[in-house]
Amino acid sequence: MRMMTKQEFLSKLRSGLVGLPQNEVEERFEFYREMIDDRMEEGISEEEAISDIGDVDEVISRIISEIPLTKIVKEKITPNKKFKAWEIVLLILGSPIWLSLIIAAIAVVLAVYISLWSVIISLWAAFGSVVGCAFGGILSGAFFVINGNIIKGIALIGAGITLLGLSILFFYGCKAATDGIIKLTKVIALKIKNCFVKKEEA
């Protein structure tokens, strides 16, 4: 497979960042240009320097994920030119439609996020309950043993220890679910950002 040249890499990088705030585009563009130049000054070939940076599409996705959504939206909705009178009239007349769509889209995104994190909160709450029951069982069992009710006390202590063991597995399950939701929300956020970023062929 033919390796990209510096010019091809930078050209594709810039075209992939169209739609982001201009200052962010220039900053990232200069950063990678200087990185390639520095590697080449160290004696590495142009193609090897670019290969070390990684796939340009992955670089673009990483940059987009690092920029706050609010900045991207602000850049997208800020007009690049002054609206004419008839354009303003059309915007006002069409506002009931496009405003409703925007509100609906925001509501859907918020609902998805709230639903996902509600599941995580519920899981951790259940984990806390299991741990609480485990220690409660052990303490209650000890109390019964001290007061002479040995059989009931041992049964409660055994149940508490069992719950404590299960809580360890529960903890790792909650942690895995939390990590998965964090990754999923990052993917969703990146997809939303990509809707505002116009990709062009270099």
Task: Tell me which residue of 3, 53, 2 sits closest to 28, measured CA to CA.
Answer: 53
pLDDT computed for residue 84 by the predictor: 67
Q: Which two tokens stand for residue 103?
A: 């509100």
Q: Residue 94 above 90 pLDDT?
A: no
Q: Is 0.85 surpassed by the pTM of this model?
A: no
Under 8 Å CB-to-CB from 154, ≥6 apart: which residues? 141, 145
Alpha carbons 120 and 114: distance in angstroms, whole number: 10
Q: Compute the average pLDDT of residues 60-77.
A: 74
pLDDT over 50 (residue 95)? yes
Contact residues for 31 (Cβ-Cβ < 8 A; gap 6+): none
Above 60 in pLDDT, residue 1?
no
